[in-house]
Structure formats: structure tokens, C-alpha cells
Chains A and B, each alone.
Chain A
Amino acid sequence: MNGEATEEVIITHKVGLHARPSVKFTKLAKTFPCVIEIATSPDGPWIDAKSIVKVMAARAPEGTRLLMRANGEASLDALAALKGLVERDFDEAHSDASLG
């Protein structure tokens, strides 16, 4: 499925898109061939979802509305997978969120 796709999701993980969540998020993004970008505001800046340095620097805490867009092969699948990961709190138990 080629083409452009957009999606958005609210970050419910207690410490937000921090160290360990960012590792998982960017690793998952890298499994898709399309260009994927995220932003915390519709006006951007839009940043590369496959770069952990840039994702970390976006500093998205709990409650952030995370905007995602993808362009290219498997764009819809990519955003659905990433959205799922964020909704599942990055598959982390609440109690070990300290690493952030």
C-alpha cells in the first residue's frame, strides 16, 4: 500500500516518549520502508521517526498529542503499528517506568 498517510495518538505512558519508549518506537519505525515523520504540533517541526536522537529531542511527555505522517511503501501499516505501540504504553509495565 503506497502513498501518504496521517495518524495521531495521545501518549499515555507515564514518562512520555523518553529513553526506552524511544528505542522501541524508532526500532519499529525502521522496520518500514516508507518515510515516517512525527510532530507535536501541526505546524511542525516534523522530525524523522527513525532517528532516536531527534525523537528524544522532541521531548514528548505524557498527554502529548503525537502527529504522525508517512509517505511511501506500507505507509498505512507503519502508522497503524506505531499508533498501536504508543497506545499500549510501549508494552511496558507501569512500575518500571523509571528509566524514562
Chain B
Amino acid sequence: MPASARVKGRPASPGYAEGRIHLARDTHDSDYVPASSAEGETEALQTAIAVAISGLQALVDSAAGDAADILEFQLAMLADDTFFEVASGKIGEGVQADIAWRDALDEEIAGYLASDDEYFRARSADLTDIRDRVLGALTGAGDAVIPAGSIYVGDDLTPSAFLSHDWREGGIALRRGSATSHVSMLARAAGVPAIIGIGAVGLEDGASALLDAEQAMLIAEPDAGERADFHAAHERYLKTMRDADRNATQPAFTADGERVEVFVNIADPSEVDAIDVATVDGVGLMRTEFLFGGVHGLPDEDVQYMAYRKVLEWAAGKPVIIRTADIGGDKPIEGYSIVEDNSFLGMRGIRLSLRRPAVFRQQIRALLRAACFGKLKVMLPMVSVPDEIDRAMALFEEEASLLEADGVDHAMPDIGIMVEVPSVAVQPARFSRAAFFSIGSNDLTQYVLAVSRDNADLSELADPADPSVLGLIENIVDAARAQDREVSLCGDAASDTRLVPLLLQTGLRKLSVAASRIGVVKEVVREWRKADPAPGLRHTA
């Protein structure tokens, strides 16, 4: 029996998991050992395609609705001999099977990406999936089938890989990763325990392990004492969560009686099905990127309209803040966003929307139509100068009059902004056309401290509790109060029980949190009492 090994990381999503380690395997061309003849290579490719087809077929059989249709499409593309013929032609010229297949697909993908039709460009993601599925079968790397209940250990995890796995009972430990990356957000929203930054430690595939995401610790081959401690800590955690859940439908008041509104962040409209609307004061952030980014490609107006309407109807009159597409940065969309260096400082959020008005107008029309079904507020991401608000508002006005002319039911929502760019945080009074402010603490932190969110080596610097960040938050809250404007915070900081007291201290009284954190954040609020200003903080309330 090997000795236990403890690996320390940083917390990304709270919780406990016990299971076997599943080590991610990376696909590298160099892993592939070619057959000795072209015939052997062609045969190997044929076998790999057959394996990929049966893998896809199994997925189709267990999928439903849109997911099944998408897989069906991939299956049909894969079953078509065209790609195989192109690749075997290359093999005949002496090219190795894996490279021949990759080249054949990459040529096709390039054709899709060059199209000026956005639906068509977005389909390139399906071809990439097909390509990698066959390469996986060919090189024996296997597709990313993660056994249920295991603890995934890898460099990083893509959002789509996260979304395609059922994580119940399981957990995630990433060698790199970042607490503010998409997969961490998804893990928190889904309540999947996750830690990051465990580094290049040696871990054995299949080893039994305990993941304590509260202490950010992964223990491989634990001994009896470690198991007992783990189970005790897990029990305590579950009890706290149960208490939080029991009181979740009660509004949150601080210990000295001040009301704090707690909203929920959602990424996909279907998430609201699992949330009791009585536990929240509304939706503080509905992302729309996932609607754009999934296997669906760019959604048309009606798909968006139905998604927005669903959430507004669920909220039953409580406010719903929907953020227009925040694409770019770490959320690129194939065929839509622009490939660039330093994407966090580039064409993302409102900048991209204003650059691609046809797509933006479609989203605006869907929002205007959905606004009839509840208390909709629309939020513009990545605003850095007031002119961007004016330009966006002009588009809302134009689309509203077009809908009016067509006799289509619609309503004009309040239009506010995300405060995440320092130019806004430093002088919020300049942005008085915004109907409300919502602080994006993840981006604000990265921009104020000049730390890229996707750089794991610097993630300790990316601290939302940094006095400069908290000072700016206080500045925004003060400015909003002075202009009688609502201000909330929808970044990850609001879901972090260690940070909530600091945020309340800045004067914030509206927090928007991950669905799995509603109860615990309310519990923290209930215990909090206005105190003397923390060092370096000015008391405002």
C-alpha cells in the first residue's frame, strides 16, 4: 500500500469529494506510432473512424433534443467517406495517418472559418470535435470519458468538457487553472468541488483520493486517520449547508438589521428550473455567452427571445439583469470573436457588439420583445467610455421603433453597465446615463492589478480583497448613492464567504451569487455587523 500524498492547491469551488483519481491524457501527435506500410496506416485510420463512430453513436443514443441533433450531425459527417478519402490519398503520398487526418479536417475547417455566414462559421467547432475524436481513437489517447464519481486531475478543463460530464459525487483538481476561469465558475454554479494550481505533482491514475476543496487539499491514498478527519469535516460542511438551505427562502438582514438583497447569477436559462425563486431577490446577472457559445453557434432572435422570456417568467416580477453578449477575452466564439493577442485588452464585450451590429441588433430585438414578460434590466459589459452607452442606447431606440412599426409587442428596459474597466471605477459619475451599475469584480481585479485572469502563475496576485480594488468598489458605491442609482456586485467575490464581509463594509447591499451559494452567503450576511472600518478602508454607510 503506497504512502498517502497530500497536494496543496488553491480553492476554486467549495465542497468535498471522495473517489479515484482520473488523470487527463493529452493528445500529442508524437505519441502516435505509425504502421510500417501505407496500407497499414489506411487501415489504422479506418479502425479509428469506426471507433469514433461507435463512440458517437453511444452518445446519440443517450442524448435528447438539440444535443442529439448536434451529435447526429457529427455522426453523419464522420460516417461520410469524403474525409477518409482525402486522408487516405495523403497517406498514399507517404503522410502518417494522424497527420493526414488532421490535415484533411483542418483544410475543411479553414473553409468553414473563411465563410462570411456566421451559422456556417460556427459549425467549424463540430468539425474540430470530429477531428479530435478520431485522433483520440487513433493515438489511443481516448476521448475524455471521465468515469462517474472520479476526481479529475489535469492541466485545465474546457467549459465544454466540463459541461459534457456528470460530476455528481466527483471533483476537479487542476494543475494550472484559475479561480476566475470559466470552468471554476461553472464548477461553483454546479456545486462541484474544485481546486486549482496543484502543479506538476506526480499522481497515479486510479489511486483512491480525497478532495477537500475547503482546505484546497488533495490527498492520494489516504490512511485511516486522514479518512476519518475528512469525513468529519465533510459532515460539518454538510450541516452548515443544510442550515443555509433551511433559511434560504428568508430575506437576508445583517445582524444590525440592514436588508441585503441577494440575487443569483445564471449562465443558461435551464438553470432556473433548479432554483426556488423564493430564495433570491432576482437575477443579478444572466450571462448570454453560453447561448452563443455552445454547439448551437450563433442563436437566432427567437431562440434568444425564448431564453430571456423563460427567465423573466420564472422570476415572476422580480428584477432580472441580462448582460448583452460578453464575447472575446477568455470567452471566444469560433466564427464570431476576433483572434488577437492580449484578448482581455481587446475586442470584447460591448466593443465587439458595436463592431458587429447585425448580431447585436438581433440580441437587442430579442431583449426588447422579452421585456414585456417581467422586470427586465439590460447590462452592457466592458464599457470604458460614456459614448459606448450612447451608441448602444441609440441601437435600442432604433430597434424599438422598428418593432413598433411592425406592430410587435416590446418594452424598453432600463439599461445599465458593468463596472469592470478602471476608467469607469475611477470616475463613475461620468457614466450617469447608465440606469444602474453592476460591479464585475473578476475583471476589475485583473485590470486594476494588471494580472491576466488566465495566468495561473499570477493568480495569487489577482486578489479582489486588495485594498486598491476594495477602494474602487467603495468609490463606485458612493457615486451610485450620490446619483440615486442602484449598484450591485456580480463577480465571484460575492459568492466567497471570506470576501462578503469586506464587500458589505464598502457599503454594497446587493450581491449576486452562484446558485449553489445563495444560502451560505445569506448566512454570512446574517452574522455580519457594521464594524469600525477595516484598515485601509473608509467607512461609508
Q: Which residues of A pack against B, CB within 8 Å?
A: 14-16, 18-20, 22-23, 26-27, 51-54, 56-57, 59, 61, 94-100
Q: A20: which B residues are within 8 A, CB to CB?
A: 69, 72-73
Could you say which residues of chain B place their CB within 8 Å of the CB of A27?
Answer: 76
Q: Which residues of chain A have C-beta atoms less than 8 A from B297's C-beta?
A: 98-100
Interface string of B300-320 (1 = CB under 8 A from A): 101100100000000000000
Contacts of B81 in A (CB 8 A): 51
In Å, the complex CA distance between A98 and B295 comes to: 10
Among residues of B, the one whose C-beta sits closest to the C-beta of A55 is B80
Whether B89 sits at the interface, judged by CB under 8 Å, is no
B80 nearest CB across to chain A (Å): 5
Query: With a CB–CB cut-off of 8 A, which chain B residues contact A96?
Result: 66, 303
Q: Report the minimum CB–CB distance from A1 to chain B (whole Å).
A: 28
* Residue from the set B81, B82, B298, B306 with the largest chain A CB neighbour count within 10 Å: B82
Are the CB atoms of B123 and A18 closer together than 8 Å? yes
Q: A1 to B76, alpha carbons, bound, how many Å? A: 29
Is B128 among interface residues, defined by CB-CB distance under 8 A? Answer: no
Q: Are B126 and A19 in contact (CB under 8 A)?
A: yes
Cβ of B529 to closest chain A Cβ, rounded Å:
49
Stretch in B34-42, B91-99, B113-121 touching the partner: B113-121
* Total residues of chain B contacting the partner, CB 8 A: 29
Selected from A26, A56, A57, A99, the residue in CB contact (under 8 A) with B69 is: A99
Q: How far is the CB of B109 from chain A (nearest CB, A)?
A: 11
CA distance A54 to B108 in the complex (A): 10
The answer to whether A56 and B77 have CB atoms under 8 Å apart is yes
Closest residue of chain A to B305 (Cβ to Cβ) is A95
- B123 — which chain A residues lie within 8 A by C-beta? 18-19, 56, 100
Shortest A9–chain B CB gap in Å is 20
Give CA–CA (A51, B73) in the complex, Å: 12
Chain A residues near B102 (CB-CB < 8 A): none
How many CB-defined contacts (below 8 Å) exist between A and B?
74
- Chain A residues lying within 8 Å of B111, measured Cβ to Cβ, are 57
Q: Given the complex of chains A and B, what is the CA–CA distance between A96 and B108 in angstroms? A: 26
Instruction: Kindly identify, within residues 322 to 368 of chain B, every residue whose CB is under 8 Å from any CB belonging to chain A.
Output: none
The 6 nearest A-B residue pairs measured at CB: A100-B119, A53-B82, A98-B303, A19-B73, A53-B80, A52-B76
Complex Cα spacing A16 to B58, Å: 29
Separation of A16 and B123 alpha carbons in the complex (Å) = 13
Q: Chain A residue with minimal CB distance to B65?
A: A96
B526 interfacial by beta-carbon distance below 8 Å: no
Q: Can you list 20 A-B contacts with CB-CB less than 8 angstroms, sorted by A residue number? A: A15-B300, A16-B117, A18-B123, A19-B69, A19-B123, A20-B69, A51-B82, A52-B76, A53-B108, A56-B123, A59-B117, A95-B302, A95-B303, A97-B300, A97-B302, A97-B303, A98-B296, A98-B298, A99-B66, A99-B73
| Known A-B contacts A19-B126, A57-B108, A99-B69; A52 and B120 likewise in contact (beta carbons under 8 Å) | no
A20 vs B299: C-alpha distance in the bound complex, in angstroms?
Answer: 14
Would B76 and A23 count as touching, CB distance under 8 A?
Answer: yes
Min CB gap A44→B, angstroms = 17
Residues on B with C-beta less than 8 A from A51 are: 80-82
Identify A23's interface contact among B66, B73, B298, CB under 8 A.
B73
Say yes or no: A52 contacts B80, CB within 8 Å. yes
For A18, the chain B residues whose CB sits under 8 A away are 119-120, 123
Q: Is B253 an interface residue (CB 8 A)?
A: no
Given A20-B73, A95-B306, residue A14 in contact with residue B300 (CB < 8 A)? yes
Alpha-carbon separation in the docked complex, A16 to B120 (Å): 10
Q: Of A53, A98, A99, which one neighbours B83 at CB under 8 angstroms? A: A53
CB pair B69 A61 closer than 8 Å: no
Q: What are the residues of chain A within 8 A of B302 when measuring CB–CB?
A: 94-95, 97
A54 and B83 alpha carbons, distance in the complex (Å): 10
Q: Give Cα A95–Cα B300 distance, bound, in whole angstroms.
A: 9
Contacts of B77 in A (CB 8 A): 52-53, 56
Q: Which residues of A contact B298 (CB under 8 A)?
A: 98
Q: Which chain B positions have C-beta within 8 A of A23?
A: 69, 72-73, 76
> Is B108 a contact of A26 with CB atoms below 8 Å?
no
Q: How far is the CA of A26 from the CA of B82 in the complex (A)?
A: 14
